[in-house]
């Protein structure tokens, strides 16, 4: 801004916190669209939606900047969950496109997008596999009640045997009945 220490002139610059808010809003819209395009009835039963997103952290350049100065940069961390059927590549491409569009809309000259370290496709075992059928029958025999398939853990560690060894995998817990 022409006068960096006065909020009356803040409109001459771009506040990266406001830009982060624009990006977060656009990512929420994109996530809702992803949930619609890759609707998964089991995940929706568990969570009420097929995809989810939240902003987990927002930080500005440093703590030593005077309160009356606009920050020069802002870092925002976002967590996404998506259902089986939506590939990691689809999600990454969608996030990149959405962030780029939102950054342009917010008047940013530069945005860096970095992947986190907890990334993998969601997975599910087909209910028609013998291991799932056997487990369902066992739970029903023991409890006298048909178990409920729970899809809230499609991105937990249980997916690794499915993804890396094509092994149908089942977890049993209190939500199974």
What is the reported pLDDT for 72? 85
82 pLDDT band (50/70/90 cuts)? very high
d(CA 173, CA 40): 21
Tens digits of residue pLDDT in 91-133: 999 999 999 999 999 988 889 988 887 677 888 888 899 999 9
- Which residues does 92 contact at the CB level (< 8 Å), separation at least 6? 115
* Helix, strand or coil, per DSSP, at residue 140: helix
Tokens representing 17 are 């916190």
Tens digits of residue pLDDT in 9-39: 888 888 889 999 999 999 999 999 999 999 9
Given the structure tokens 């149908």, which residue do they identify? 168
175 pLDDT band (50/70/90 cuts)? low
Per residue in 81-106, is it b (16+ CB within 10 Å) or e — as a string?
Answer: bbbbbbeeeebeebbeebbeebbeeb
- Give percent of the chain above pLDDT 70: 95
Most confident of the ranges 44-48, 66-70, 162-166:
44-48
4 pLDDT band (50/70/90 cuts)? low
Reported pTM: 0.83
Contact 140, 108 (CB under 8 A): no
């Amino acid at each position: 801004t022409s006068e960096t220490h006065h909020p009356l002139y803040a409109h001459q610059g771009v506040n990266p916190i406001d830009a982060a808010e624009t990006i977060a809003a656009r990512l929420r819209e994109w996530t809702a669209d992803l949930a619609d395009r890759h609707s998964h009835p089991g995940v929706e039963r568990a969570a009420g939606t097929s995809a989810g997103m939240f902003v987990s952290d927002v930080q500005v350049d440093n703590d030593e900047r005077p309160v009356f100065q606009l920050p020069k940069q802002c870092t925002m961390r976002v967590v996404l969950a998506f259902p089986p059927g939506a590939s990691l590549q689809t999600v990454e491409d969608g996030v990149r496109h959405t962030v780029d569009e939102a950054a342009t809309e917010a008047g940013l000259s530069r945005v860096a997008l970095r992947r986190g370290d907890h990334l993998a496709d969601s997975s599910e075992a087909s209910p028609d596999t013998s291991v799932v059928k056997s487990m369902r029958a066992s739970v029903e025999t023991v409890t006298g009640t048909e178990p409920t398939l729970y899809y809230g853990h499609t991105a937990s560690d249980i997916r690794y045997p499915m993804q890396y060894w094509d092994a149908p995998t089942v977890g049993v817990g209190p939500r199974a009945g």
